Structure 1
Amino acid sequence: MNAENLRAATPNIRDVDILDGVKVVEVTTAVSAPLIGRVLAELGAEVVKVESRAKVDVNRARVPRPTDPDGFPSHEAFQLLHEASASKQSVTLNMKTDRGKELFLELLADADVFIENFVPGWLDRLGLPIDYLRARFPRLVILSASGYGQTGPMRTQRSYAPVMTALAGIEGLIGYADGQVMGCSALALADLNCTFNGVFLVMAALAGREATGAGTHLDLSQIEAAATLAGEAFVEEQLQGARPGPRGNQDPDGTRWSVRRTVEDDTWVAARVVEPEPDSTPRPTREELLKRLRAKGIESACVASPQQVIADPRFRGRGYTQDIEHPHPAVGELTITSVPWRVEGAVPRVRRAAPMIGAGNTEILGRYADAAELAELEDQGVLK
């Protein structure tokens, strides 16, 4: 099903323009901060991702697979690239050059929001520290979304998803009640939590600017934000004086969950407070078990795989995923998830696939340099 047919079949997907006229510049990598830009873009903002071919976003640093056909643009096709950077424009700038730095500052002069998530200090090395940017662009909202924040002894360390959730106190809660801590949830909880904290912070700062006329600098630590996800454990240790640990399939109040296997291969049902059945009892199908449990008033649900979630008509019918066409014919159609909310009953439409690197150079940088200069800058490596 192509994007046009999907929109016709699901009329609650449409353009949302509550941020129409807002311009966002981002210098970001990976998932957490790029996804902030994508959400703002699908709320109507123009979002320009400033990149460099010398050091690409990690989601573009994908090596070709043996099955890739000749000419397949592997660095444009990684699924996370499109989950994090759909609906944007891309320009390439070598900010180690004087003209590249000038063009970057011209972009910021027209922007309302600047988002960055590299290790603190990178702007200082370019001679563009945050204090300088705030003085030069007093209405600019700047969001720095780093792993450890802009201050403190760990500020310059690199951050990865399992490290962040471990330091936030989350991994120590994962495991079986009668065993050791297992940890490693293998989910980018810190990244996604950072994303939506970042979106709300930017929206609040833009609203505040309407009243004061002044921008602000937002310092968002992914680890500190992730620690809020384990808030119950912090309170429990404070009140009881004992370190909380893994409980297996049990809520903090002692309520147990049972995960029961069905007759289908690798298919399970999760339910609250269900005694195990004797081994001699034939396993029911998933639907039979769900019907039986629900008839008894027992809260239960199937344990769904990601692919089952995507294929579930209840999710598709609400616009959980959208199909989009990539501009490169070798990539073709992509299916990505929508933002998880509605605006006046509508799911914000994914406006386009993640941009091919530098695809917006002519349109965006053409506002500040004519075609002849852009060609010259390309030859000089300024648009690297």
Structure 2
Amino acid sequence: MVNGPWQTALAQLDHVSEIMMLPDSVHQLLRNFDRILTVSVPILMDNGSLRVFNGFRVQHNASRGPYKGGVRYHPELTLEDLQALAMEMTWKCSLVGVPFGGAKGGIICNPKTLSKAELERLTRRYTYAIMPIIGIEKDIPAPDINTNEQIMAWMMDTYSINNGYCTPGIVTGKPLNIGGSLGRKDAAGLGITFVIENVIKNMKMELKGLTVAIQGYGNVGSTVGKFLYESGCRIIAVSSSKGSVYNPKGLDHHALIRYYKENGSFEHFPYAESITNETLLELPCDVLIPAAMGNQITKKNAGKIKAKILVEGANGPTTPEADHILAERKIPVIPDILANAGGVIVSYFEWVQDVQCFFWCEKEINTRLKNLLNQAYEEVLHVSHERGFTLRTAAMILAIKKVADAISVRGIYP
């Protein structure tokens, strides 16, 4: 039995490496990390006391280009979580043709208990602590759970001041007026929508009237919901951390967003039945999108999934045991490294624009995003059909092969 995201990441790598007959030397390199930095982040609190937080930056593999990955602030953050996410970023960038390697970072903290001033001091001190290993051509951080445009602005400013000149390309996911990119906010959700359109077309289903359940109606989940709702899909269930709501006749996306802004949850939403987040996963629907946290679909509930298609909006929501059960039940799983790659693709576009000091219109960005995802989906589908693998295994084979080839052609120094 595999427990936790890091064990899942290793199990997936080991499984695919065996299928590929990957040389043991390359396999061992991919199982390990180029660098793991642990830092102390001391800050003065508003009451004058000193508090020390623990922070990390994990860099997995840079064979294909600079490291890329988000920064998350969470009270239950662990180094193993970051290792799994950094490794997954390597595969994600490789699969969709973005010339980056994988990284991830974060601070063990609860940002909801910090004032804005404390959050700024925390961010700036963390940025200063990891400065030796980040840079436009080294490692480019981005937002993740509990971080946002403002956090990225503080990171960019701290790096720029210490560097002696404005360096907008050091982070992505910034505000537009300091080098951010059009289309970045919606990128992950729009990318998932593009992938769903491809899947539906391949399965000869119609987008209009498609029933969809979304676990985690946050930044990513609600964006997917918006695009699918506007395309004529029927959103039958959504959830937040405080519970889920369900209406088989469909939920109004705009009413949901208004209600959540006013109440902070979907509890007592007047046009739906309240259900548990666990129940949402087992509802009959055409498409199930787990877009919350990892390890949501397990061997305990995989046999109860009634969706026709599962699209991973979150990172690592399906355990290997659940994958096996879903494959036996012939429920296709669109893996996270393909489904939610829109964010890193447009982050790459933002980095390119910053480096060139030349910015694109939103239509061009969305067109480029769609082209890359369409191409990646077709490649994954081809390998899956040709070799009889699940979509996840096919995606992992393609991703790992590109990284392994880069390692082989570059060689080992010295």
Please report the TM-score for the alignment, with normalisation by the length of structure 2: 0.33
Q: With structure 1 as the length reference, what TM-score do the two structures score?
A: 0.35
Which entry has the higher C-alpha Rg, 1 or 2? 1
Please identify which structure carries the higher helix content. 2
